[in-house]
Amino acid sequence: MSTHENATDDTTDFGFERVRTEEKAGRVREVFDSVASRYDLMNDLMSGGLHRLWKRFTIELSAVRPGQTVLDIAGGTGDLAAKFSKLVGKDGSVILADINSAMLSVGRDRLIDKGALNNISVVQADAQYLPFEDNSIDCITIAFGLRNVTDKAKALASMNRVLKPGGRLLVLEFSKPVSPLLSKIYDTYSFSALPAMGKIITNDSDSYRYLAESIRKHPDQQTLLEMVEDAGFVDCRYHNMTGGIVAVHRGIKG
Binding site as annotated, residues = 77, 98, 126-127
Residue type, 30: E
**What Å distances lie between residue 246 and 3, 107, 131, 148, 213, CA to CA?**
18, 23, 29, 15, 15
Give the angle 191-196-201 at the CA atoms, nearest 5°.
Answer: 135
* Cβ contact 244:221 at 8 Å: yes
Binding residues for S-adenosyl-L-methionine: 77, 98, 126-127
Nearest alpha carbon to residue 227 among 251, 193, 194: 251
Within 13 Å and on the Cβ side, how many CA atoms surround 109? 8
Query: Between β-strands 137-143 and 120-124, what pairing exists: parallel, antiparallel or unpaired?
Result: unpaired
Interatomic CA distance for residues 22 and 94, integer angstroms: 30
Nearest alpha carbon to residue 155 among 179, 128, 134, 181: 128
Query: Between β-strands 233-241 and 137-143, what pairing exists: parallel, antiparallel or unpaired?
Result: unpaired
HEC per residue, 32-90: HHHHHHHHHHHHHHHHCCHHHHHHHHHHHHHCCCCCCEEEEECCCCCHHHHHHHHHHCC
